[in-house]
């Protein structure tokens, strides 16, 4: 039964793509292995419309793999700031250095070599090979898993090895030997625009008549949905320390852990008093503390409720700080640093307050 379904999949999908597919994405013009790779890394866990402006800015600053390889990690992280999942940016930088130094600036075109590069898994490697080199290498990202699970009515948890192996096999069987780049984009587009996780537009689907889930009126049952986890909530105070010349104090996070290698505000437990904390850990004298803003941020495994306080301090030189690694920055200049989005939002709230004070 599967062979018949496989034979009726790629042709109508490609015909649909010719009429309705996304052909104006910035990494498609011009298309290169470097541009495809950067886009694929950015698109992991992130939607296309969010990625586009980041990709365009990234290409303006790092138009070639050599320029990315030569950049400092801080500069790369600053361009990634706001996209989240920051290990992607560190792996991107490491891979650029490997490709520049070991491959003469040219990405390998075989899956084995690609998957040996940092941050490139089997599906990302297949996407690069198919879209940049037109190789018949099937991808299996979230969109493709959903499409194939419904089309072939594959049940079970998607993360289970037997289900994943079955989907990989079907993905490879459906992959045509021609127009490989178009097919890869087509199946991603189908999952993103028609075969969506909620409210799928089956009436617009090019493979509706052969889709098993549709013909059996069971689309909503596929793919199997895991019970949504209830994430714990953590509460923490973040301190925006400022001094008279509107400089603010930031410290760089260690290379592992949350927001690793990013610039951050000092933080402490929600119940801890601010003044003793700053005196004992930093040597700051607090002149005044006031509430600045409240932010909710979600990580993959918990929610973080952030209470941000504006803390006016006496001017303390870097040499006088008890805790190394911190630095004073002009508040406006600080927004160009590698910051997690919630930290950037706190700094922007402070700048809005400064602007309001000047105008009034």
Q: Which residue has the tokens 């292995």?
A: 33
Place of tokens 């990013």: 262
Examine the residue annotation and report whether 352 is marked as an active-site residue of this protein: no
The Cβ of residue 277 has, within 10 Å, a number of other Cβ atoms equal to 18
Pairing of strands 263-264, 267-269: unpaired
State the Cα–Cα distance between residues 254 and 233, nearest whole angstrom: 23
Residues 194, 200, 206, 210, CA torsion sign: positive
* Among 7, 21, 9, 19, residue whose Cα is nearest residue 186: 21
β-partners of residue 297 are: 304
The H-assigned helical ranges of 260-340 are 274-281, 331-334
**Measured distance CA(146)–CA(75) in Å, rounded:** 36
Classify residue 253 by its DSSP letter.
P
| Pairwise CA distance, residues 114 & 110, whole Å | 6
* 129 close to 123: Cβ distance less than 8 angstroms: no
Look-up of token digits 């504006």: 310
Q: Which of 40, 56, 73, 217 is flagged as catalytic?
A: 40
**DSSP letter assigned to residue 339:** B
Judge whether 198 and 207 are in contact, CB under 8 Å: no
What are the b/e assignments for 90-125, b being 16+ CB within 10 Å?
Answer: bebbebbbebbeeeeeebbeebeebeebebbeebbb
Closest CA relative to residue 132, chosen from 42, 39, 36, 17: 36
- Annotated catalytic sites, by residue? 40
């Amino acid at each position: 039964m599967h062979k018949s379904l496989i034979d009726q999949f790629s042709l109508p999908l490609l015909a649909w793509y010719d009429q309705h597919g996304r052909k104006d994405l910035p990494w498609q013009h011009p298309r290169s292995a470097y541009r495809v790779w950067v886009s694929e890394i950015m698109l992991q866990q992130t939607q296309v419309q969010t990625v586009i402006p980041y990709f365009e800015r990234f290409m303006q600053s790092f138009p070639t793999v050599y320029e990315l390889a030569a950049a400092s990690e801080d500069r790369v992280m600053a361009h990634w700031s706001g996209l989240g999942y920051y290990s992607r940016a560190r792996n991107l930088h490491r891979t650029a250095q490997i490709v520049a130094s070991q491959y003469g600036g040219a990405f390998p075109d075989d899956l084995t070599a690609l998957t040996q590069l940092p941050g490139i898994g089997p599906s990302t490697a297949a996407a690069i090979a198919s879209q940049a080199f037109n190789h018949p290498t099937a991808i299996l990202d979230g969109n493709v898993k959903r499409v194939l699970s419904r089309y072939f009515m594959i049940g079970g948890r998607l993360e289970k090895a037997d289900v994943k192996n079955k989907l990989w096999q079907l993905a490879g069987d459906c992959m045509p030997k021609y127009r490989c780049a178009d097919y890869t984009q087509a199946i991603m587009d189908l999952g993103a625009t028609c075969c969506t996780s909620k409210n799928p537009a089956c009436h617009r689907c090019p493979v509706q008549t052969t889709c098993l889930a549709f013909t059996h009126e069971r689309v909503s049952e596929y793919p199997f949905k895991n019970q949504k986890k209830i994430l714990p909530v953590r509460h923490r105070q973040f301190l925006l320390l400022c001094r008279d010349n509107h400089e603010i104090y930031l410290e760089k996070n260690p290379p592992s852990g949350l927001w690793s290698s990013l610039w951050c505000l000092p933080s402490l437990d929600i119940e801890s008093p601010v003044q003793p904390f700053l005196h004992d850990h930093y040597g700051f004298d607090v002149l005044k503390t006031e509430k600045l803003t409240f932010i909710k941020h979600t990580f993959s495994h918990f929610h973080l409720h952030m209470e941000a306080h504006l803390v006016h301090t006496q001017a303390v030189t870097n040499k006088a700080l008890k805790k190394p690694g911190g630095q004073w920055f002009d508040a406006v200049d600080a927004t160009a640093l590698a910051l997690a989005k919630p930290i950037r939002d706190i700094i922007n709230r402070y700048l809005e307050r400064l602007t309001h004070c000047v105008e009034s």
